[in-house]
Structure 1
């Protein structure tokens, strides 16, 4: 009860802030809202009397301003909602997509205190120089430039143990003080609100708002531990080792802890500085294609992708290589989901709408009682307008709106595991388009998707998977035989105890035990033979 009262007070503050920004239009969508909510909708604008007017702004801009004023948790919520065009409309979703984590920095003294506490050493012992003014301040952390000095072996004939020092430029990311408590308070509120929304707006159940908040909670939990972000950066660096188009800053693990992360400094131009990139002589058309290819490699090849690929997190080096930073929000996709996404995307790319529809049914995304022919027609209505057109002629955001409308018609539930992918796809499209307005997303994507499908869905790949499954079964076989033998021994012992009281001779139980033994043995031998034969043939 106390939690409900606390959430109510917090909600009152939130709604009052929305009223100040004239962003209460969200309450108008609650068709079955209780009477007291409707009354609150009429009264709350009175609290905004005297506040600056925001009427000249679009709805999405007013909502984005209110969420930014409410703090980091609500900024993250706005970013999550930016992919829900079906819920808020395309224009509002686009405005929320422009929401950036720009907040006043916290004091240098707090940053110094955090570094020394986390690394258990004075700041001047960890870094030979440390800029007091941060270069960036976001909702969760801020970044300072610094320099470190490492000792490296430099043996000589006279002194085999000689060492020399090497100075490196680094960037140090530091979490905001007490950020964890602020997020936990607001996450509890988000769960409470999502529950109310699904209760009073039955149509919202299909959107699975509570599940979205759960994903937000998991994402925030990972972002609160910078060691997890460092591990994500290191994993992606391994995935792209030796790649000529993309790289990741090197993590300095000796200067990284839960609330502090140190990495090599990027010597490049932010993709947000388009004019500067052009002046440096970079090929904008080639760069836009690189953004798309890198995104598809992360999603399809690795199943592990940077889920915040906006301009501010991407840089271009002098040699034309794309470099990403800020690995706090990452997405993962299992192999089965990647296979589904690749086949569905390829079906759209080649105009095979029947197969695109079949894949949705096979994945269980469309209820089986729905018409395959009708869904094929719906897929065609989505795919035909975009094939062969450049990004400036189409909008993935608008495409997603139509796709979401189709999902409602065919009673398809929101797939939470795809939310980050949808958000990242729209972001990657925007980045690529800013580099080259005429880029054809599908034309660039086609070779990458086709190559991955041949490697993972062709005959050789399927045969290799069968062999892999067979070898896995063979590894488990000794344990299976042992357990089967123990089970049969136990059954025989129990039958033997019964035999002392009765004379079963060739009774039913003995025949069942024998039959069971031969059945298990036969199935096992057959399975082994099948896998061995498959391995030989392929």
Structure 2
């Protein structure tokens, strides 16, 4: 690999890239000068407007200049612009309107070159593969451009063709970014400078994966498998016979960009419903499947006329380990419970703090910053609020951002940015809480059931208010059904695994030397409208068939006592 050319490198390797450019300093300094001069000229223009009191007059002109600057500097900087284009809360509107164009309105490269790449990569003339192919690209993005076509078998397809000479540009920019990260690290606080080069390496690794269309096809199929039972998420089919590392042929998606609210409403769709699908599917990716979309900008997400949301780009994905996924759920539970000691331990497990860190002084700091956020009404803050307040801790305590979490944070912030572009008052937590509550209450795995117990019990005491809150929040999720959840809960309660919970519930119902009938009646009032008699009867029959006669005999007294607690009058009828 020592004699490689930039265009031949298949996987990102910072050492190999550094060796190549060590003997070609003119390429490095030439590119660095171009980048530095471009940004210096732009910044001087902004300052000149201030000095001449022409800021308002030149707003649109400067916004256009920024978009053109990033476009000229190439795919690496276009990626930065795409990330910024989803943050209306960070970027002023005139810049935002121009940066949005970087998602799919970039200059296309020559058709003749694109056709030659298709023919070379697929080994056949275009006419033998497609019965139709649009004369010009329908979209041009940072790494490639897309044509609309039709196979001879009749299917409408999108044909994605990679830009020429992409790898040499990416390798040089990544080399410069890594050099800059290493140079800046000593000048930053230890926690901010730590792992800065690793974050660049993570970005480089994902960027090289993104320009391998075979890898993207495999990602799409894995993503589709995860959401195979979700009727609200659409993933296009990959046509492998017409796909290579530089050409990707996939099912054509008819839809509207998520930021095109006018067309979404014209189609009779509710933008709020689309937001909820996007946020919920994002949480599923992180907390259930562990396989998540790391680049969910509006150019990659579409609202379909039938109300589904479609993902169309799977180049930048990442996989979380099972332990990381479980610790993330733990962190959410501990954050909601305001258990800051356990939350600090979660940060150690996730790599935000080193194992040797003394967490004692950090716990009160977490309580001060995060307790302030969690103590507010759920609708009064969003993900950015939490990250902004949390960033204060980065300067005072040895927190760091692990490389993998740079992508997770980027994904979450981008999704929230999309939602904010649809609804300026959107709060991601309002959508996230019902999902997390539903996941905990359904408890389909031992790990989730253990986490539910952590929520419901504190210092050995049952937290009635928490159970009420969980049920109330979960019911705002359209996918939550009380009856199957209650059925699973009863089955768990009567199982060997549920022995501890049975004992704790008896103690909870009689603690403080009184029967907690008031709390039980409040819970019943909360769910009774969802528990229709005919559905209850069917569930009861199903449950009884699963137990022996001795098991049924053991259940009946418990059912009698429960009925008495819910409605004392019913005791006379049993």
What secondary structure does 2:323 align onto? helix
Contact conserved, 1:346 with 1:450, CA < 8 A, in 2? no
Task: Give me the whole-angstrom Cα distance separating, in 2, the residues matched to 1:60 and 1:333.
Answer: 37
Among 216, 238, 243, the alignment partner of 2:225 is 238
3-state DSSP of counterpart to 2:43: coil
Q: Give the aligned partner of residue 548 of structure 2.
A: none
Counterpart contact for 1:21–1:65, Cα < 8 Å: no
**Once the 2 structures are TM-superposed, how far is the Cα of residue 398 of structure 1 from its aligned partner?**
3.8
Offset of residue 434 of structure 1: 3.7
| Aligned 1:107-118 pairs, distance under 5 A | 107-118=110-121
Pick one of 226, 237, 243 that aligns with 1:250: 237
Matches for 1:78-93 after TM superposition, within 5 Å: none
Residue number in structure 2 paired with 1:445? 432
The structure number with the bigger radius of gyration is 1
Please list, as runs of the form range in 1=range in 2, the aligned pairs for 1:137-536 lying within 5 A after superposition. Answer: 137-150=140-153, 167-201=154-188, 203=190, 206-367=193-354, 368-370=357-359, 371-381=361-371, 383-384=373-374, 387-389=377-379, 393-453=380-440, 454-456=443-445, 458=447
Q: 1:124 aligns with which of 122, 127, 137?
A: 127
> 2:434, 2:382 → 1: CA distance?
21
* Contact 1:147–1:168 under 8 Å retained in 2: yes
Counterparts of 1:9 and 1:53 in 2: how far apart (Å)? 32
Cα shift readout 1:112-143 (whole Å, capped 9, x = no counterpart): 10110010000000000111211111111000
Q: Is the contact made by 1:344 and 1:356 (CA closer than 8 Å) also made in structure 2?
A: yes
- Tell me the CA shift for residue 385 of structure 1: 6.1
Say whether 1:9 aligns with 2:9: no
Q: How many angstroms apart in 2 are the aligned matches of 1:243 and 1:394?
A: 29
Task: Describe the superposition over 1:456-505 as per-residue Cα deviations: whole angstroms up to 9, x where unpaired.
Answer: 5647679xxxxxxxxxxxxxxxxxxxxxxxxxxxxxxxxxxxxxxxxxxx
Q: Are the equivalent residues in 2 in contact too, given 1:303–1:338 (CA < 8 A)?
A: yes
Q: TM-score of the superposition, structure 2-length normalised?
A: 0.65
CA distance in 1, matches of 2:262, 2:113: 36
SS at match of 2:314: coil
Q: Comparing 367-376 with 418-427, which one deviates more in the overlay? A: 367-376
User: Cα distance 1:201–1:66, how it changes in 2: closer, same or farther (>3 A)?
Assistant: farther
Deviation at 1:343, TM superposition (A): 1.8
Kept in 1, the 8 Å contact 2:220–2:314? The answer is yes
Does residue 1:21 correspond to 2:23, yes or no?
no
CA distance in 2, matches of 1:190, 1:288: 34
Bigger mean CA deviation after superposition, 220-229 or 55-64 = 55-64
1:191-246 deviations in whole A, cap 9, x for unaligned? Answer: 22222222455658635321121012101111121111111111111111131111
2:159 touches 2:249 (CA, 8 Å); kept in 1? yes
How many matched pairs?
A: 420
Q: 1:364–1:69: structure 2 CA closer, same or farther, 3 Å change rule? A: closer
Task: Report the CA distance shift for 1:205/1:62 in structure 2 as closer, same or farther (over 3 A).
Answer: farther
Q: Deviations over 1:389-434 (max 9, x none)?
A: 1xxx534334322222213321112211111111111121122334
Q: Secondary structure at the match of 2:223?
A: helix
Q: How far does residue 99 in structure 1 lie from its aligned partner after superposition? A: 7.7
- Cα contact 2:214–2:248 (8 A) shared by 1: yes
After superposition, the Cα gap between the structure-2 partners of 1:220 and 1:424, relative to the gap in structure 1 and judged at 3 Å, is same
CA separation in 1, counterparts of 2:414 and 2:277?
Answer: 14
Q: Secondary structure at the match of 1:22?
A: helix
Please report how far the alpha carbon of residue 252 of structure 1 lies from its aligned counterpart in structure 2 after TM superposition.
0.6
Structure 1's unaligned 5+ residue stretches are 26-44, 47-51, 151-166, 463-533
Q: 2:102 aligns with which of 100, 114, 129?
A: 100
- What residue in structure 2 maps to residue 153 of structure 1? none
Does the 8 Å contact 1:226/1:258 carry over to 2? yes
- Residues 133-183 of structure 1 show CA distances to partners (whole Å, capped at 9, x for unaligned) of 111111110000000022xxxxxxxxxxxxxxxx11110000011111211
Residue-by-residue CA offset, 1:506-531 (whole Å, 9 max, x unaligned): xxxxxxxxxxxxxxxxxxxxxxxxxx
**Structure 1 pair 105–382 and aligned structure 2 pair: CA distance change class (3 A):** farther
- Contact 2:294–2:316 (8 Å) recurs in 1: yes
CA distance in 2: counterparts of 1:203 and 1:8, whole angstroms: 28
Q: Is the 8 A contact 1:309 1:427 kept in 2?
A: yes
d(CA) in 1 for partners of 2:214, 2:448: 41
Q: CA deviation at 1:451?
A: 4.2
Alpha-carbon separation, structure 2, partners of 1:202 and 1:376: 19
Taking the aligned partners of 1:405 and 1:257, their CA distance within structure 2 comes to: 47
Q: SS of the counterpart of 1:132?
A: coil
CA distance in 1, matches of 2:33, 2:57: 22
Cα distance in 1 for partners of 2:246, 2:170 equals 15
Q: Which runs of 5+ in 2 are unaligned?
A: 1-21, 49-53, 452-495, 501-574
Q: Secondary structure at the match of 1:21?
A: helix
Whether the 8 Å contact between 2:190 and 2:398 is mirrored in structure 1 is no
Question: Is the 2:340–2:363 contact (alpha carbons within 8 Å) kept by the matching residues of 1?
Answer: no
- On the 8 A contact 2:383/2:429 being kept in 1, the answer is no
> Which residues of 2 match residues 53-68 of structure 1 at below 5 A?
66-68=69-71
